[in-house]
Amino acid sequence: MDLNADFNTDFSPSSRFAASGFSTLSGLGYDAFFSSSLEEGLTPGRVVRADRGGCTVLSLEGSRQEAYRLPRGQRPCVGDWVGVGSDGVRQVLPRRTAIVRGAAAPGVSSGQVLAANVDIVYIAEPAVPEIDLGRIERLLALAWESGARPVVLITKADLAGTVLAESELDLVARAAPGADVVAVSTVAGTGLDGLRPGPGETAVVLGRSGAGKSTLVNALAGREAMATGEVRAADGRGRHTTVHRELLLLPGGGLVIDTPGLRSIALHADGAGVARTFADVADLADACRFTDCAHESEPGCAVLAAVADGALPERRLASWRKLQREAEWAASRTDARLRAERERQWKIIQRSVRGHSRP
């Protein structure tokens, strides 16, 4: 099979990295975690953009396009560290963190890796037409599951009036225990201080179309690095101005990955991210009379008591139940896939044994 058959040569200009100023791979996030796995004879590089037949890889030699020399299911995504040979990408190094969402296709149990080796996940949620707490919770579960640190950014704060009401930010903070919450306005230049990742750190921006992700990336980069679009006045939504994921170098040595708007955010892993997102519900559950309390109608349920007295919003309990069910379903699909793979491997071994035992 010709691995170059669908190689897309329409890549972003490599000139954007020409004056980046980095002189060591550690400036791109490379360390012993990755170097210990690099195969002999290969050169390390970081994927800044991945297309169907090839990717753009950044190394000390500069930014260049490389073909894949890997099976389709083992190809890298943006943020991956790879081993490059004379004929293209030969190895994807182990990931320290990964943003993985459940596959949209029915019957597919493997997830889609949106970005790899990120340290910070910026969850961009626009202040207008209204803040969607359920979407924030869903993206938080994805972020906590990855192993990266989430930060919730309420974007377009200037469109919500003079200043976002403190009560609105308080509601967001209650929906995001353990995560920083920042109101951001790129127009007014507020909320941006301290957001730029430090040298060697990588951030990724997640959110729906029209959330202001590319505008935020441009503000962090100090230039028009990504195209931006207008927001429809009727519903506050925007068009997909970013159509691919791309890693950019920032002033000061940090890196950021811009992503297209997420239409669907299916969970993929075993629910650890959900548990972290709803740590307040878990704390309440510890005080329930029964250890196996389902928080439905059981006597002595501390969770239902908190809903009754207003300490826990009923909306948040409903959101927890929904994401918990999704996480359990995702885990069951993964378990089924692993069982099927083990059975397949066992059948291969049995056929091999039978073949060798024949006279």
- Domain covering 272-340 in this structure, CATH number: 1.10.40.50
Strand partners, 257: 204, 247
Identify the residue with better confidence: 104 or 253: 253
Nearest alpha-carbon partner for 8 in 67, 61, 48: 67
Tell me: pLDDT of 253 over 90: no
Q: Which of 166-170, 188-192, 346-350 shows the lowest mean pLDDT across its residues?
A: 346-350
pLDDT band at 252 (very low <50, low <70, confident <90, very high): confident
Q: What percent of the chain has pLDDT over 70?
A: 76
Assigned token pair, 50: 């991945």
User: pTM of this prediction?
Assistant: 0.82
SS3 115: strand
Q: Which fold has domain 14-94?
A: SH3 type barrels. (2.30.30)
Strands 81-85 and 43-50: antiparallel
| pLDDT at residue 340 tops 70 | no
* Mean predicted confidence (pLDDT) in 242-269: 82
Bridge partners (DSSP) of residue 231 are 238
Detail the DSSP E strand segments found in the chain.
Answer: 43-50, 54-59, 62-67, 81-85, 88-92, 98-101, 112-116, 120-126, 149-155, 180-183, 202-206, 246-249, 255-258
Residue 183, classed as helix, strand or coil, is strand
> Does the pLDDT of residue 127 top 70, yes or no?
yes
Is a pLDDT exceeding 50 seen at residue 16? no
Three-class secondary structure of residue 62 per DSSP: strand
pLDDT at 266: 76
| Burial tier of 60 (Cβ tally within 10 Å: 0-12, 13-18, 19+) | middle
pLDDT at 323: 92
pLDDT for the residue 11: 37
> Is the torsion defined by CA of 54, 60, 63, 65 positive or negative?
negative
Instruction: Express each pLDDT in 52-68 by its tens digit.
Output: 889 999 998 889 999 99
Distance CA 158, CA 215 (A): 14
Average pLDDT on 93-108 reads 78
Q: How far apart are the first and last CA of the chain?
A: 37
Domain ranges of the chain: 14-94, 99-258, 272-340
Of 172 and 334, more confident? 172
Residue 131 predicted with pLDDT over 50: yes
Q: Going by CATH, does the domain composed of 99-258 fall within 3.40.50.300?
A: yes
Are 322 and 271 spatial neighbours (Cβ–Cβ below 8 Å)?
A: no
Check if the beta carbon of residue 77 is closer than 8 Å to that of residue 84: no
Q: CA-CA distance, 35 to 31, in Å (whole number)?
A: 6
Q: Mean pLDDT lowest for which of 23-32, 36-45, 288-297, 329-338?
A: 329-338
- Has residue 315 got a pLDDT over 70? yes
pLDDT exceeds cutoff 90 at 280: yes
